[in-house]
Amino acid sequence: MSEPLTPGRRIPAWIKVRVHEGENYRRLRALVRDQRLHTVCEEAHCPNIFDCWNRGTATFMILGDVCTRACRFCAVTSGRPTELDIGEPLRVAESVAELGLRHAVITSVDRDDLRDGGATIFARTIRAIRRRSPGTSIEVLTPDFQGDREAIRTVVEARPDIFNHNTETVPRLYRRIRPRAVYERSLELLAYVKELDPEMVTKSGVMVGLGETKEELLQVFHDMRDHGIEVLTIGQYLRPSRKHAEVARFYRPEEFVELRRAALEMGFAHVESGPLVRSSYHAEEQIPAGRRVARAAS
């Protein structure tokens, strides 16, 4: 059974963040400031920032820090972006090289104001990292590009190791939680990635605790497999502030184990499932070794 949320109730004891400012964490934080970069780890208040940064994994957020959408689960600032920094890809690549990152995740705000949704900057960032750090694996976590297939193709042709786009929640909750997104469009994006490059790892993630049912979650997992998605992340939604959607309930650790088991039985190659799991959690472990080597050499 899940833990019900009651007025004044504290976050359950099993949702604990380990705070440890190790050497890698401090180095990355200083470099991000120096290079005028953004990370979704900070902007979205990710609970795993200390763990991931100390492990040598970071998620850089390109295309500024203002999103053109206002999803009710997200802590990133929404509004009208005013910048497009064409020097950003090189600065991200230099940072990845200086830190010696094993795995770099590149994400962005939604930039519906741009003709290609920012796909060109994604591609330039991937290529810049490849030139400076050929041994670093690269994952992109993209917006939906409003379904623009040319934008999707632009990113795929830059050859990231993992192409990630989150469905976030079940279709019934989209109008309330992701009002400007389309569930089918998110699935079709990842199916098109597979069509363009069958060897590219595709990935998606969902949050739980927004009011969905277990049956709805399992249907989403089935839909993902029907669209060729190989890697799945499942994590507990935590409310960033009072202006965001409320938590409907907290899932217990054993429920995450059950969801992972069910997903693996459907054929996912890798499933990360737990209260603090986020899109990039243990991301460096989700690429088959053979594919990693092949892409690094290409």
Specify the CATH number for the domain of residue 254.
3.20.20.70
Residues 169-218 pLDDT 10s: 999 999 999 988 999 999 999 999 999 999 999 999 999 999 999 999 99
What's the pLDDT score for residue 179? Answer: 87
What's the pLDDT score for residue 6? Answer: 42
What's the pLDDT score for residue 8? Answer: 43
For residue 5, pLDDT over 60 is answered with: no
What proportion of the chain, given as a percentage, has pLDDT over 90?
54
- The structural domain count of the chain equals 1
For residue 21, pLDDT over 70 is answered with: no
Domain assignment present for 5: no
The predicted model gives 105-121 an average pLDDT of 93
Q: 171 CB contacts (<8 Å, ≥6 apart)?
A: 183, 216, 220
Domain assignment present for 204: yes
Exposure pattern of 95-127 as b/e (b: 16+ CB <10 Å)?
bbbebebebbbbbbbbbbebebbbbbbbbbbbb
The answer to whether the beta carbons of residues 161 and 169 sit under 8 Å apart is no
For residue 4, pLDDT over 50 is answered with: no
Domain assignment present for 284: yes
Domain assignment present for 2: no
Tokens 């409003």 sit on residue: 146
Closest CA to 158 of 189, 194, 119, 110: 119
The predicted model gives 123-131 an average pLDDT of 97
Residues 34-60 pLDDT 10s: 666 655 555 445 555 556 655 656 688
What's the whole-model pTM score? 0.84
What's the pLDDT score for residue 199? Answer: 93
Single-letter amino acid code for the residue at 127: R
Domain assignment present for 8: no
For residue 279, pLDDT over 70 is answered with: yes
Domain assignment present for 13: no
What's the pLDDT score for residue 268? Answer: 95
Domain assignment present for 110: yes
What is the Rg, in whole angstroms, of the alpha carbon atoms belonging to the chain? 18
Containing structural domain, residue 207: 18-297
Domain assignment present for 4: no
Residue 53 backbone phi and psi in degrees, to 5: -65, -35
